[in-house]
Chains A and B, each alone.
Chain A
Amino acid sequence: MTAEAGVRPGARTQFARRAVGSPGVRVAGRRLLAVIPVLWGVTFLTFIVMNMLPGDAAQELLGANATPAEVHQLEIQLHLNEPFWVRYGNWFGGLLKGDLGTSLSGGQPVTTILGQRLPVTAELLLYAFVASVVFAVGLAVLAARRPNGIGDRISMAVSMMGLSIAPYVLAPVLVYLFAIKVGWFPAIGYTPLTQNPVENIKSLTLPAASIGFPLFAVYTRLLRADIVEQMQREDYIVTARAKGVPPWRILIRHALRNSLFGLITLVGLNFGTLIGAVAIIEPIFSLPGVGAILIESINNRDLPVVEGIVVIFAVITVAANLLADLLYVALDPRIRYERAAV
């Protein structure tokens, strides 16, 4: 969706040529090329790290009482006795075909496991992100309206708290306050969306808040700083003021709109890094997402499942980054031409 799309609707071939050569596509292409080695490095590093762990899946599955012969038998069955490079090659070959292998402990295909669990995690993350961005935009605008005013000070204090609180600190405190004391939300458990939408939202509210509050704090501070800078420095704000545009309109239509770029980038960056928070928060609330099985799979040395989760999150990170970059390019003509010139 670059601006070129609307420039000359007439000549089709010319349009196609322009689209391929357009800065947006070029930026995306260059980004994708740069990202491939990073993605590969992540999968390879995961393989190495998991292989360095003492014991293997066969040992973990059979328990401490198994005889070496039994363990060896299962190792052969699971192809764990093959050399490292062969196993990585097999796995990577499968990945290229869209096959993530089968779980060593359950025998299920990893894609099936992810297919069942990913929607829960995706809903949780989406909830956390949407809520944190919406609240952050609201609070940042309020704060930036009058820098150092009372609203600004309160919002800065709230966001400073959010920066300093860990999800695993926030979660039990929220459970204590809102599930045990007041009883508004369930302390644990997950209700599928198809079963009961209201209960579904309720069951995800506390976990989403635990993940989202720290994000909200970061976003608020970033956005507020950007808006304040726009309001103080930019000529177009002065022009708008001189024209007699009402202050609220300047703030939202001009300053906020031009400050959203930093936020978009950061959201893109954050999306994939939350695997850790998800791995901690989901077990606390007994949510059947991918985070809940991540730690279990590491403990079981269930390499295909761990790799599958790592790959999914790495791809999500890359995709979110790319999307943020493209939004950036699409929204800001200056960047478009600057990068096109390079």
Chain B
Amino acid sequence: MSAPLFRPAGPQTLLPPEVTAPKRARTRRAENWTHDLKITIPLGLLILIAGACFLWPLVYPVPKPTGGSILDAGLPPFSPGHLFGTDAVGNDIFSRILYGGRVSFEVGVSVTAIGLVIGGLFGVIAGYLGGITDAVISRVLDVLIAFPALVLALAIAEGLGPSELHVIWALSFFGIPAVGRVARAATLALREQTFMLAARLAGTPRWRVVLRHILPNIMPQLMTFSLLGIGVIIILEGALSYLGLGIPPPNPSWGSMIANGQQTLSSQPELVLIPSAFLFVTVLSLNLLGDALRERWGVR
């Protein structure tokens, strides 16, 4: 992924200098993404939350997320040694948030990566080759999309038993067709472009057209879609864990924390509100970042 990828060669190269973009302060600043608050704030929040989840337990000791003492049960937030308090069986909430967040990020990123590679591949093939290949791949994607994702994920998680890896497999059935459709549509839109015709006239081999002409051009669209996708997957992972089919029970996940907290909603609402807030802020940041990048890269 080289730099000009996201800055399409515009009229600058063709027009005389006086017609090219006037060097106003606003455009100059917009060139540099680090000055764009719409990008830096959600990105910063994401780095903060993900960094805390993955690094904090390594750097600074936190209580174990499981096996807490019943003597510590139900401590309110800001108790000594327990920043967010403890849950009904005495586990430290802060530690559970950190370890649960790891699960969310790991599942979200891996499912999206699997979706990008497999779904992207099939989408590009369908869009580029067209004809019967396209028809077959599109129908399969249609079935997978029409198939209620949660039912499939539930069934897989039920069948294979709850574990993080199984959740990733199950949710991939959701990610692959979604990315596949976007990749196919984006490829179709490219097919009529002049440079594709030029490549064909020049006798460029198909694999090279895909690698050098299609992939770079659909990348911005797939990347922004993936950012939004990570958010959706994190929500779905939470849903599975919420139903007790995600991460095996004593281990924390934001979804299962919300589910467990509901039993004491009236007496200890923070058990629900804290993981809810983390889930919300994480997904919100991903959405904001995806939106900002979409605007910047001019993706519709």
Please give the residue numbers on chain A whose beta carbons come within 8 Å of chain B beta carbons, in ascending order. 37-39, 41-42, 45-46, 49-50, 52-54, 160-161, 163-166, 168-169, 172-173, 175-176, 180, 272-273, 275-276, 279-280, 284, 294-295, 298-299, 306, 310, 313-314, 317-318
The residue of chain B having its C-beta at the shortest distance from the C-beta of A37 within the complex is: B139
Task: State the interface size on chain B (CB cutoff 8 A).
Answer: 41
Which residues of chain B are near A54, meaning CB under 8 Å?
159
B239 touches A166 (CB 8 A): yes
Q: Is there an interface contact between B139 and A172, defined as CB atoms closer than 8 Å?
A: no
Task: Among B142, B150, B255, point to the contact of A276 (Cβ < 8 A).
Answer: B150
Stretch among B48-56, B72-80, B271-279 lining the A interface: B271-279
Q: A52-B159, A310-B148 are in contact. Are A160 and B242 (CB under 8 A)?
A: no
CB of B158 within 8 A of CB of A298, answer: yes
State A41–B177 Cα separation when bound (angstroms).
15
**In this complex, which of A49, A169, A272 has the most chain B Cβ atoms within 10 angstroms of its Cβ?**
A169
Shortest Cβ gap from B41 to chain A (Å): 13
Tell me, yes or no, whether B190 is within 8 Å of chain A by CB: no
Bound: A284/B286 CA distance, A = 27
Sorted from nearest, which 6 A-B pairs have the closest CB atoms?
A: A276-B150, A41-B143, A164-B284, A53-B159, A164-B283, A166-B235
Of all chain B residues, the one with the shortest Cβ separation from A163 is B287
B242 with A38: CB separation less than 8 A: no
Q: Is the CB of A279 within 8 A of B150?
A: yes
Return chain A residues, CB-CB under 8 Å to B286. 164
Of the residues A37, A172, A180, A275, contact of B276 by C-beta under 8 Å: A172
CA–CA, A176 and B261, complex, Å:
12
Interchain residue pairs with CB less than 8 A apart (19): A37-B139, A38-B143, A38-B146, A42-B147, A53-B155, A53-B158, A54-B159, A160-B284, A161-B280, A168-B242, A168-B255, A168-B258, A172-B262, A172-B265, A176-B273, A272-B148, A279-B154, A310-B147, A314-B146
Q: Which of B150, B255, B265, B272 has the most CB of A within 10 A?
A: B150
A282 vs B139: C-alpha distance in the bound complex, in angstroms?
Answer: 32
- With beta carbons under 8 angstroms apart, the residue of B151, B262, B284 that contacts A306 is B151
Q: Out of B142, B146, B276, B284, which one reaches A173, CB within 8 Å?
A: B276
Q: Closest chain B residue to A274 by CB distance?
A: B148
Residues of chain B within 8 A of A317, CB atoms compared: 146
Does B223 make an interface contact (CB < 8 A)? no
Task: Give every chain A residue within 8 A of B239 (Cβ-Cβ).
Answer: 166, 168, 276, 280
Given A166-B235, A172-B276, A275-B150, is A160 in contact with B287 using a C-beta cutoff of 8 Å? yes
Docked pose: A337 CA to B78 CA in angstroms: 67
Contact assessment for A165 and B280 in the assembled complex, using a CB-CB cutoff below 8 Å: yes
A45, B177: Cα distance in complex, Å: 15
Q: Are A161 and B284 in touch, CB under 8 angstroms?
A: yes
Chain A residues closer than 8 Å to B238, beta-carbon distance: 166, 168-169
From known contacts A168-B242, A176-B272, infer whether A46 and B265 are also in contact, taking CB-CB under 8 Å.
no
* Total A-B Cβ pairs within 8 A: 117
Query: How many angstroms from the CA of A41 to the CA of B152 in the assembled complex?
Result: 13
Among the listed B147, B243, B287, which residue makes an inter-chain contact with A164, where contact means beta carbons less than 8 Å apart? B287
Smallest Cβ-Cβ distance to A161: which chain B residue: B284
Which residues from chain B sit less than 8 Å from chain A, CB to CB? 139-140, 142-143, 146-152, 154-156, 158-159, 231, 235, 238-239, 242-243, 255, 258-259, 261-262, 265-266, 269, 272-273, 276, 279-280, 283-284, 286-288, 291
Q: Which residues of B contact A313 (CB under 8 A)?
A: 148
Interface contact A50-B276, CB-CB below 8 Å: no
Complex contacts, A169 vs chain B, CB 8 Å: 238, 258, 276, 279-280
B287 lies within 8 A of A173 (CB): no
Distance in Å from the Cβ of B143 to the closest Cβ of chain A?
A: 4
Interfacial chain B residues near A52, Cβ < 8 Å: 155, 159
> Given A166-B238, A168-B239, A280-B243, are A41 and B148 also a contact pair (CB < 8 Å)?
no
Asked if B156 contacts A176 (CB within 8 A), the reply is no
A165 to chain B, nearest CB (A): 6
What is the distance, in angstroms, from A149's C-beta to the closest C-beta of chain B?
18
What 8 additional pairs, Cβ within 8 angstroms, besides A160-B288, A164-B286, A317-B146? A53-B155, A53-B159, A160-B284, A164-B284, A175-B265, A180-B269, A276-B148, A279-B150
- Whole-angstrom distance between the Cβ of B264 and the nearest chain A Cβ: 11
Q: How far is the CB of B208 from chain A (nearest CB, A)?
A: 33
In the assembled complex, the Cα of A280 lies from the Cα of B155 at a distance in Å of 15
Do A50 and B155 touch (CB < 8 A)?
A: yes
> Which residues of A lie under 8 Å from residue B235 when comparing CB positions?
166
Residues of B within 8 Å of A298, CB to CB, are: 151, 154-155, 158
CA distance A165 to B235 in the complex (A): 8
Minimum CB–CB distance from B63 to chain A (whole Å) comes to 25
Name the distance in Å between A209's Cβ and chain B's nearest Cβ: 15
A161 contacts which chain B residues (CB < 8 A)?
280, 284
Across the interface, which residues of A come within 8 angstroms of B149, CB to CB? 273, 276
Question: Whole-angstrom distance from the CB of A183 to the nearest CB of chain B?
Answer: 11
Q: How far is the CA of A294 from the CA of B154 in the complex (A)?
A: 10
Closest to B139 in A: A37
Give the residues in chain A near B287, CB-CB below 8 Å. Answer: 160, 163-164
With CB as the reference atom, state the residue of chain B lying closest to A54.
Answer: B159
A89–B276 Cα distance when bound, in Å, is 45
Identify which of B152, B158, B255, B273 gathers the most chain A CB atoms within 10 Å of its CB. B158
B227 shortest CB reach to chain A, Å: 12
Other-chain contact of B152, A49, A160, A272, A318 (Cβ < 8 Å): A49
Distance A314 CA – B150 CA, assembled complex (angstroms)? 14
How many Å from the CB of B230 to the closest CB on chain A?
A: 12
A272 to B154, CA, bound (A): 17
Set of chain A residues within 8 Å of B280, measured between Cβ atoms = 161, 164-165, 169
Nearest-Cβ distance from residue A159 to partner chain B, whole angstroms: 10
Name the A residues within 8 Å of B258 (CB-CB). Answer: 168-169, 172
Distance from B166 Cβ to chain A, minimum over Cβ atoms (Å): 13
CB-defined contacts of B283 to chain A, threshold 8 Å:
164-166
